[in-house]
Amino acid sequence: MSESRIQLTDSEIEQLYRFCARHYVHWYDVQAELVDHLATAIEEKIAANPKLGFEQALDDVYRGFGYKGFAGVVAERTAQVQRANQKLRRSLFFSYFRWPKMVLTLLVTTAIYSLGKWLPGQVMEWVAAALVLCVLVWQFVLAARIGSISKRVSKKLLLTESAGSGLLFGNVFMQVYVSQRIWGTENEFSDIRLYALIALLTLSVVAMMSYYEYCKALYEKARQQYPAAFA
């Protein structure tokens, strides 16, 4: 493709980013592609007709996006990113039930099972409470780590928008365990209560670990693809 000799200035490029934002494209990763499209088309138009001003050329090019403007592009991009992110999140979650990470999952379940079988009921009550507390504290630690990674992003990205809002999912399993009295009587740490603890604590740990990995993977991908969006 022939390259036009006209080149838009930095301030005109910035103007195009603002133009995208005014037309409800708030994410840098979506804006970047649209800005390049608008800029290339404007440069070609001005090269063909030097009397054409920047604003007029921009209006002409934007008309090419049809009556919906950028809405169709944003909708498809959003759907695509959500689909890809959900797939990644599912895959990371279930990876803990496949080799090699399954070893970690089995270690957690075996450790809790062994504690439940060896320790007296009343002691196990305290151990179970301590484990639940540990998971809750650990959740805050992971949230803080994700928060610290997200601070490095200086521009809003659609790619990482879902990162940082799903850690509580792991907490749900713990809440189910804590809130249910059906697992056993107060004075006895029954088998059913032990199995519930094993299942719910393991799910909680797996959900949190996989979510943390998911957030890290998203930010890493974003950093590789859009280094300009990182401070």
What's the closest the beta carbon of residue 213 comes to other proteins, in angstroms?
A: 21
Q: Could you give the 3-state DSSP secondary structure of residue 9?
A: coil
Residues at the contact surface with other proteins, assessed by CB under 8 A? 1, 7-10, 13, 32-37, 39-41, 64-66, 68-69, 72-73, 75-77, 79-80, 83-84, 225-226, 228
What's the closest the beta carbon of residue 94 comes to other proteins, in angstroms?
A: 19
What's the closest the beta carbon of residue 26 comes to other proteins, in angstroms?
A: 16
What's the closest the beta carbon of residue 227 comes to other proteins, in angstroms?
A: 9
Q: φ and ψ at 55, to 5 degrees?
A: -65, -45
Q: Could you give the 3-state DSSP secondary structure of residue 194?
A: helix
CA dihedral 118→123→125→127, nearest 10 degrees, is -80
What's the closest the beta carbon of residue 66 comes to other proteins, in angstroms?
A: 4
Q: Do you know the residue count of the chain?
A: 231
Measure the CA–CA gap between 197 and 112, rounded to whole angstroms: 8
Nearer to other proteins (CB atom), residue 79 or residue 168? 79
List the beta bridge partners of residue 230: 153
Nearer to other proteins (CB atom), residue 205 or residue 222? 222
Nearer to other proteins (CB atom), residue 34 or residue 201? 34
What's the closest the beta carbon of residue 57 comes to other proteins, in angstroms?
A: 14
Nearer to other proteins (CB atom), residue 177 or residue 226? 226
* C-alpha distance from residue 15 to each of 23, 30, 41, 114, 137 (Å): 12, 15, 15, 64, 46
* C-alpha distance from residue 160 to each of 85, 150, 153, 165 (Å): 9, 9, 9, 11
Nearer to other proteins (CB atom), residue 5 or residue 22? 5
Nearer to other proteins (CB atom), residue 66 or residue 147? 66
Measure the CA–CA gap between 148 and 150, rounded to whole angstroms: 5
